[in-house]
A and B are shown apart, each in its own frame.
Chain A
Amino acid sequence: MISMVQTANTNNVTRRYLVEEERDVPINRGMLHGLWALTNRELKKWYKVPVLLFLSIIQPIIWLGLFGKAMNFGALFTGTSFNIPGLNIPKSTLDLIAKQAMLSTFGTTDYFSFLAVGMLSFIILFTAMFSGMSIVWDRRFGFLDKLLSTPVARGSIIMGKVLSSVIRSLAQAAIVLIVAVLLGMDTSKLTVAGLAGTFAAMFLMAMGLSALFLMLALRSTDWQSQMAIMNLLNLPLLFASNALFPSKLMPAWLQVVTKLNPVSYATDAGRQLLLGSPGFAPLGFDFLFLVAFAALFSGFGIFLSWRYLSR
């Protein structure tokens, strides 16, 4: 009889199970236990489904390839397109004027390179935005309750999501950067230190933004309202920054907003480090702002998660 065999089996198992000395199990009760396991859980969902990765980078690449190439501001000034009647300015002079105009506006001679760095911020912003969604799903599927019934630090639950979102967004930013270089981004000033610095700045921005979006989702149970919050925040964060267009040409009130927007500082650090552009703020200040932003929002997120994750 099958059931008899099964019972015998289970009994065997039970006895082995009982033999294990509970006292000898070195239980990790540290504050950070479980953090990496939770981070890895989120990452697995991403790297095991290559389609997702592809879909998430396709948008910035379309922006780069179509918008970045179409907005060929440099051509505005080149001799072939215009001249001033009566003044027979030599083409070489016109080209020089064009180059200077581009440099002083965009900090680089082509809009494509300018936008490429902005697109790194773009992908990080959009990845961070979705980190809030994952907590809403976890709550809806009851997985969050299950997590909350374990002794894992409430802060680890939120930091696991922050970290996975940071890692994901940096990997996607790296792919976008490679594509940009292949499509003709200016690499004359590219250095290893510059790359490392850029990714450090992006890391800080990703951390702060993910923590921000997660905090907004801490108590949320429906994904529609979460989507609404995301849409309310993401376009202003993108447009009221220097990611797509230099802020110094913007109206004064908008410049104030860009000066408060962390996206501006990460993009600015990236442009200084990758393209050698003159800064919209000193490089040191960019980093100071980003460190403060990341620390403030992560700390706040951890604090709120202890208070508000359980109801």
Chain B
Amino acid sequence: MEQSIDAQTSGENGRTSIIDVEKLTRVFDNKLRAVDSISFKVYEGEIFGFLGPNGAGKTTTIKMLTTLLKPTSGDAVICGHDLRKSPQQVRWSVGVVPQEYTADEDMTGIENIMLFANLYGIPKEIGRKRADELLALVELQDASGRKVSTYSGGMRRRLELACGLVNHPRVLFLDEPTLGLDVQTRTAVWRYIRLLKEEYRMTLFVTTHYLEEADGLCDRVGIIDNGKIVRIGTTSELKASVGGDAIELGIKEKDVDLTSLISGVDKVISVRKEDDHYRIKADMGEETAPAIMDAVRSAGYHVDRISLTKPTLDEVYLEFTGHKLRDEESGNQHVMAQQRTVRRARA
């Protein structure tokens, strides 16, 4: 079972796991299995993306890993502490940025951060220093003396981030940190996240709906659907598992069939001749596409157009959460065939 969801080819590679989840389960009201026996590892110093549609169980998982919800069954070890046996130790070593805005509206930004510094047992002077640094990090210095009730959504989100960092946690859980933010703020938030990883060597566990973001920023991704993890691996591993890059190639000489010629090029997985072009699946599209062009030219034919599409995480996501036809190719063909029929009927 576990092998089947693991798109990883690299294995542990000597990395140490900092979160080790074993058959974690949470059942609500004796029937809803919000999180259903999930097992996975997060390695020290990586950004782990946790993806899934609404209600998949992402928040429930984070709440269990941060000791806010008791697991119905299963175990987890975080920073070497057993979630069930020593929740208090887990709390000392992790930070959370929750999905909702939870800062105290009646207090100012700096008062919120100072309160949390105090709750983490940090002496006042050091707390003050950290608060100033964090406010600078999230660019909230100017608003730090204002009540949170006057903050905009983006400012609140950044304040949440600062509060979650005040104890210099080894692992930071971020539950949809960019939800509802404009492009600029979203970029800023991701910049902080990358900074945390690179400069503090912090481990980040991030849930998000924005696949493009996960694609660019996460080292590894886990896809959860209906409480179950359906796929785990690096983003490129996941994309490879959907089957290579797509190349569309148009040739001037419509009457000849070059299928076998193209198949002969290195790294080409499959070739199919459509009406007036070829659909090619290949690994390493950037290098394979020029190689195909060379092969076609040296055989004396003329390329009149070419396009390269990298598989996005969206495709992976749709494929494994089952919200799209399993066999994408046949699906596409079916649609195209229909379109052709319509066109012919009109003509």
Contact = CB atoms under 8 A, between A and B. Distances in A.
Contacts of A18: 199-200
Interface of B: 63, 66-70, 88, 91-92, 94, 96, 98, 100-107, 115-116, 118-123, 126, 129-130, 133, 136-137, 139, 163, 167-168, 191-192, 195, 199-200
26 contacts: A13-B136, A14-B195, A14-B200, A16-B133, A17-B137, A18-B199, A18-B200, A25-B122, A25-B123, A26-B123, A27-B121, A27-B122, A28-B123, A34-B121, A41-B107, A44-B106, A48-B106, A143-B103, A145-B63, A145-B98, A146-B116, A146-B163, A151-B91, A151-B120, A151-B121, A152-B119
Given A10-B137, A143-B102, A150-B91, 8 more contacts: A11-B195, A17-B200, A18-B199, A18-B200, A33-B118, A41-B104, A44-B106, A146-B163
A142 interface: yes
B96 A149 contact: yes
Given A25-B123, A311-B69, A150 B116 contact: yes
Contacts of A29: 92, 121
Nearest to B102: A142
Contact of A147 (B119, B136, B139): B119
Contact of A27 (B107, B120, B130, B137): B120
B199 A145 contact: no
A310 B67 contact: yes
A176 B18 CA distance: 57
Contacts of B104: 41, 143
Given A6-B139, A146-B96, A310-B69, A45 B120 contact: no
Given A14-B199, A141-B102, A148 B120 contact: no
A43 B101 CA distance: 22
A2 to B, nearest CB: 11
A10 B120 CA distance: 24
Contacts of B137: 10, 13-14, 17
Contact of B168 (A22, A151, A311): A22
B154 to A, nearest CB: 14
A38 B139 CA distance: 26
B68 A310 contact: yes
Nearest to B121: A28
Interface centre among A13, A17, A29, A151 (most CB of B within 10 A): A151
A16 B120 CA distance: 21
B15 to A, nearest CB: 22
Interface in A149-172: 149-152
Interface in A59-87: none
A174 interface: no
A9 interface: yes
Contacts of A20: 126, 129-130
A7 interface: yes
A11 B98 CA distance: 25
B92 A151 contact: yes
Interface of A: 6-7, 9-11, 13-18, 20, 22, 25-30, 33-34, 37-38, 41, 44-45, 48, 141-143, 145-152, 310-311
Contacts of A14: 137, 195, 199-200
Given A44-B106, A310-B69, A151 B123 contact: no
A149 B96 CA distance: 7
A26 B118 CA distance: 12
A145 B102 contact: yes
Interface centre among A142, A149, A310 (most CB of B within 10 A): A149
A44 B147 CA distance: 13
B148 to A, nearest CB: 11
Contacts of B101: 142
A146 B120 CA distance: 12
Contacts of A7: 191
B98 A9 contact: no
A13 B115 contact: no
Contacts of A15: 199
Given A7-B191, A10-B195, A17-B133, A37 B119 contact: yes
A149 B63 CA distance: 9
Given A44-B106, A310-B70, A10 B136 contact: yes
A311 B96 CA distance: 17
Nearest to A152: B119
A15 B133 CA distance: 10
Nearest to B92: A151
Rank and list the top 5 A-B pairs by shortest CB-CB distance, nearest first: A142-B102, A28-B121, A37-B118, A151-B91, A150-B119
B232 to A, nearest CB: 25
Contacts of A37: 115, 118-119
A30 B92 CA distance: 13
Contacts of B192: 10
Contacts of A45: 106
A9 B136 contact: yes
Contacts of B126: 20, 25
A33 B121 CA distance: 6
Contacts of A11: 195, 199
A38 B136 CA distance: 25
A225 to B, nearest CB: 18
A152 B166 CA distance: 14
A27 B96 CA distance: 19
Contacts of A146: 96, 98, 102-103, 116, 163
B196 to A, nearest CB: 9
B346 to A, nearest CB: 51
A149 B120 contact: no
Contacts of B115: 37-38, 41
Nearest to A49: B106
Nearest to A25: B126
Contacts of A25: 122-123, 126
